[in-house]
Structure 1
């Protein structure tokens, strides 16, 4: 019944998974990851999402202290890897959707050219996964996370306010149907290509809690490697909704386990996190936080960026190298 054990992955892919802290419970204690926040634009609006740029005080998805240019992301990677060689994975997870930002692919190009042995990882909502999949293969992105909260349009339309696809806005059931169709086709394409696919599903009591087991069974059939059932962070339009209890989430994880491997050690990381999962170095240095806070006040203002054409942040100029975290902040 455990489809993930039958996934037709290469031995090299299996080795990389064993060193990926999000895919292996054992790896989280030995190997680290580096998130590069180069992707501010997003093409969907989820009702639970509150993306914050220039923020050093919160630890959750969608938050970053700075948005880096690809060039600065490479310089930051050089600095982090030089001092923390236990980091084997470099990923892009926002603060928007990586596949809606050309900077993602330029960053992957630069990282792959200089560090051919690193595992490259991307986390996406999946709307553009099928469309941009060849670009991920071009830079040998090997591990993929897709956030998918429902396969039922009636449920999905309660979670996602709207989407932007091919520069056109879609709302309601139409948006939900398009998003689900694109997610499923993209996930299947990635599985068939031999990538290690992880699904992030936000558990929202009263909306999708009775649907997630059905999703796990479908993921079993598709060949998904691992599933991460994440608790709702009640914020934005869902600020008044009740998050699940630990017991509720644990019960659901155990129910899904016969169908797809479950990730139970997720920390719901920031878009600029680095280090071990349980020891995010981006949060440990007060010096780094002070430097970034000062730089961000001078250079940027928090702004939601929507991919509805050529919309750009008023503070989207590339960050200069001196605005990056100082080396002594990594110690």
Structure 2
């Protein structure tokens, strides 16, 4: 793997580093209940059966999350990353930041990582860095306003409900400004892009080029999981996914080993043991807040 800024933070990060995948473990702490944007393919929920982002068995308070992490470290000694990836957006509330503060005080040597839509990244990155976060994933599904308006139905920001192309423009500008500032503070940024045939599949090169210009270190092209308004939209086939990754690779190193994990995942990605089932003993809650 080539040298890059923040490499010391990804050498044992199984989501950012293919060489670490299958060797080191990660846990996602489900502490973020709400989201401040609505993607047309996204359906958040609580269950123990679906294997996709946006779902969890339950929600944790920041204090409860530390207790779960204590047990996870004991169950999975290979655990090197503590992340927050939902089931809503990590920055739509303050739960993730408070969780990272508590976790960093107790486990300063664990890699702190989060996934976000990036709407509030610029506003909150200083606090995240102080709380030990050094790796971040930002989901960018378009950098063209018309294309993103087809994917994201609305955003909410400072009490404003914004739709259409205005919402798309606001989100794109916020994402790129957030990445730029995060990178300036020494954070390694990976961009996730959901490949949606017929909508953003001809836009992948623009996304990768723009993300690289903003300072992103990697890009991860992941297939659409049809849900919500896109429940009848077909996912990309292997040929389309391979082509999109090849196009993106002209601008950024491409992550090829992502498994689109749940918001409460725990263990070595691709491993045989699901430690999450052992950690979350409470009954799954029935709906998102």
Flag whether TM exceeds 0.5 (same fold): yes
d(CA) in 2 for partners of 1:239, 1:283: 30
Bigger fraction of residues in helix: 1
Whether the 8 Å contact between 1:273 and 1:280 is mirrored in structure 2 is: no
Inter-partner Cα distance in structure 2 for 1:214 and 1:260: 12
For residues 13-64 of structure 1, give each alpha carbon's deviation from its aligned partner in whole angstroms, at most 9, with x where no partner exists: 31221100011111012111000000011100100001012x0011100000
Q: Any idea what SS the aligned residue of 1:183 has?
A: helix
Deviation at 1:170, TM superposition (A): 0.2
In structure 2, the partner of 1:122 is 114
The number of aligned residues is: 289
Corresponding residue for residue 58 of structure 1: 50
Q: How does 1:153-232 map to 2 (within 5 A)?
A: 153-232=145-224
| 2:41 aligned with 1:48 | yes
Give the Å deviation of 1:281.
4.0
Query: CA separation in 1, counterparts of 2:15 and 2:69?
Result: 19
Of 79, 94, 98, the match for 1:102: 94
Aligned match of 2:21: 28
Deviation string 1:111-162 (CA, Å, 9 cap, x unpaired) is 0000011100010000000111111111120000000000011000000010
Residue ranges of structure 1 left out of the alignment (5+ in a row):
304-312, 314-331
| In structure 2, distance between residues paired with 1:232 and 1:162 | 19
1:132 is aligned to 124
TM-score (norm 2): 0.95
Q: Normalising by the residue count of structure 1, what TM-score does the alignment of the two structures yield?
A: 0.84
Is 2:263 the partner of 1:271? yes
Match of 1:147 among 139, 145, 151: 139
Asked if 1 retains the 8 angstrom alpha-carbon contact of 2:13 and 2:20, the reply is yes
Q: CA deviation at 1:255?
A: 2.0
Separation in 1, partners of 2:274, 2:53: 13
Q: Deviation of residue 84 (structure 1)?
A: 1.1
Match of 2:62 among 57, 70, 73: 70
2:286 corresponds to which residue? Answer: 301
SS of the counterpart of 1:142?
strand
Closer/same/farther in 2, CA of residues 248 and 283 from structure 1, 3 Å limit: farther
Partner of 1:243: 235
